[in-house]
Amino acid sequence: MARIFLETMVDTLEEGSLPPDWTGFDLAAFSPGKRLYEYQQAALRKALQALWKYYSPPGIDIPARKQAFMQWYRDAGLESDLDLPVDRSSAARRKLASLLGGYYQVDENDRLPYWQFINRMSFWMATASGKTLVIVKMVELLWLLSQRGDIPRHPILVLAHRDDLIEQLRSHVNQFNQAGGLFIRLRELRDYADARRESPSLFSSQEITVFTYRSDNLSDERKEKIIDFRSYDNNGEWYILLDEAHKGDKEDSKRQHIYSILSRNGFLFNFSATFTDDRDIITTVSNFNLSEFTRRGHGKHICVSRQEVRSFRRDEDFSDAEKQKIVLKALIMLAYIRRFEDRVRRVQGSLYHRPMLVTLVNSVNTEDADLKLFFRELVRIGSGQIDETAWNTARRELLEELRGQPEYIYEADLHVRVNEAIFANLTQADLLRTVFNEPGPGEMEVLVRPSNRQEVAFKLKTSDDPCALVRIGDISEWLRKELSGYEINHHFTDEGFFERLNQPDSDINLLLGSRSFYEGWDSNRPNVIMYVNIGTAVEAKKFILQSIGRGVRIEPCRELLTSGVLAENEQTLLAQVKEDVDPLESLFIFGTNREALSLVISELDQEDKQTGEREIALEINHEAVDGKLLLIPVYQQKEQPLYLEKQLAKFAITAENRELLNRYLDYVDDDRVFYALHGISPQQIQTLRDSLASPEDNFRGTDRIQAAGG
């Protein structure tokens, strides 16, 4: 996996390097009652630094500006070949090659040098981290900078690949406009020509028109909703902000190239919760992805269970009891977490959420579809047909794993802790009450929403409340085949199951969906996610990361309880619940292939982390320091290294290793070659050679081989 470059590069800029015009912005203010978090402000601050670097110095032409920006990457150590090959192996690719050739320079090797696309930056922001707020604030900064003449005055276009994302943008812009400063007016891209012809309003100096459109409706042809981007090219002088609009492979996706073409003489800003392409990762200016979001305490802890959902694999033969066992494990985990919800709510009823299990399946309507197999086991359990062996084995195996205190992903210093007394006392009645909203078994009834053919709810006939919701593309086939033997209530008028998932009165404990379901939803309620035949190969990683990202949200009270800055009543509250909140603040994941899941999730930990580097949490001991003068050390740069000023302890090394080191230094006898290989200073090289020349003063013998870094 590529490592992030741009963020590291802007972090190394000298403090105060930006001129006054590029500083002094109020990055926190958004609307009355809403301010940006520090990590959102940091993203904007880094973006300003990168823009300044790109647009400075003024007065040079765009190709020279791009090449200088690309050289900055090279100077920072970027060696990857990012050039795009021009593929003419099919009619469609020949057409794309022709399109690109009209706007970009193709070199003698039939490649597009990447410096032509380098005027861009990515914002890697986890789901629920508030990237739409950052997008709106970025619009304000672009307007301010262009008003001052620090960057060119180009129109701004926001592209998103779903209508709900555009509506979310509209909602946030309305909030922003209430502040009474800059007024942002949103218009469809189709109105671009009309907007250019219209006379400016009396308030034009304090307003800006920002264009929006569905990113998947941009093309090089024109249809009913599809528009030809060439009608809106504006000589490529656009500032384009992409909201989750990076779908498709960079070499083959025509739309990806269209976004670049439209902004070729402007700038491209790419916002997403999931980046998998090297070019997106390398040009990330602000990393607050799932791993960072979790590590900094804004999301749930993540644990990937070693209990694999192998019994649902079609290439392996498992009994019904084995299928039931893995379903029981997920339900037992949910029931266990719900016990802690009960304990916390006895302290304060509004704390936290109602835990929920989300099951995501690969197939829906085939004969042996994953959703059907899972649902059938769910019905058996709800009707009381629980295999005693499967029940006992599921509890025992799950408890054994939790006793081992598995690590949380991204948080190596934190481990799952199990309350064995609570776990051991879980009964089948507890499971039925937790999952099916009824302490006893019963037959399943189907509730169909008259106005929505994408979802169907289920409840036990003995219960008043629905317990499960299935949301797939079209439920019609399910109703006709899988649910033909069930009592179906077609006249159920409650229209709010899915929309009310996050409400305190939602009784839905199980949410079942297909692969197409990972977009368009997020909730603070999932504490268990189960993947059935998804993620068996690493290429599914975008889906996995998106769906997990939509399940790690947590209510603000976690930040309150872990902030360390609490009022007296909050400290009392924390003391009462702190032993019970870990399960509610955790997301437990069950998958068909644990190794593939773990690899995908852990890949977000960037490879540029220094070996041995780890973050430690420090707390202020207020009892010890309040009211006292706290001295802060000031460090002064030494004129020469410490090892030249005092005799250091002798380094322990085996005789064999010392001989190998001597032979290596004799072999690399040219200090210039040594410097090129290892990058250490000439002074350090000379010190190493001098120390080996008088080994009795600098080394001591040992039988132990030193560990790396020791």
d(CA 676, CA 694): 26
Which pLDDT tens digit goes with each residue over 429-457?
A: 999 999 999 999 999 888 887 677 777 88
Instruction: Please say if the pLDDT value at position 522 is more than 70.
Output: no
Alpha carbon distance 552, 549 (integer Å): 6
Could you report the per-residue pLDDT of 609-663, keeping only the tens digit for each? 433 344 444 556 666 666 666 666 666 665 666 556 555 666 767 777 788 888 8
| Average pLDDT score, the chain | 82
Instruction: Assign domain 6-13+30-58+120-288 to a CATH class.
Output: alpha beta
Residue-level pLDDT at 613: 40
Neighbouring residues of 327: CB distance < 8 A, sequence distance ≥ 6 = 374, 377, 378, 381
Measured between alpha carbons, how far is residue 287 from residues 42, 193, 282, 489, 706 in Å? 10, 37, 11, 48, 36
Please give the Cα distance from 327 to 381 (Å, whole number). 9
Across 126-196, the runs of DSSP E, i.e. the strands, are 156-160, 183-188
Spacing of C-alpha 178 from chain mean position: 30
Pairing of strands 526-532, 356-361: parallel
Per-residue pLDDT band at 246 (split at 50, 70, 90) = low
Q: Is the peptide bond before 155 cis (omega within 30 degrees of 0)?
A: no
Dist CA 214 CA 159 (whole Å): 6
pTM score > 0.75 for this model? Answer: no
Answer with the residue of higher pLDDT: 664 or 467: 467
**Tens digit of pLDDT for each residue in 121-158?**
999 998 778 899 999 999 999 999 999 999 999 999 99
H or E element at residue 532 = strand 526-532
Which stretches of 569-618 are assigned E, i.e. beta strand?
586-590
Length of the chain: 710
**What residues are paired with 267 via a beta bridge?**
239
Q: How far apart are CA 248 and CA 255, in angstroms?
A: 8
Could you tell me which residues are beta bridge partners of residue 702? none
Ramachandran assignment for 59, one of left (phi > 0), alpha (psi -120 to 50 degrees), beta (any other): left
Domain residue spans of the chain: 6-13+30-58+120-288, 299-602, 642-701
Instruction: Determine the 3-state secondary structure of 331 from DSSP.
Output: helix
Bridge partners, residue 159, by sequence: 213, 242
Which of 640, 353, 284 lies closest to 502, judged by CA? 353
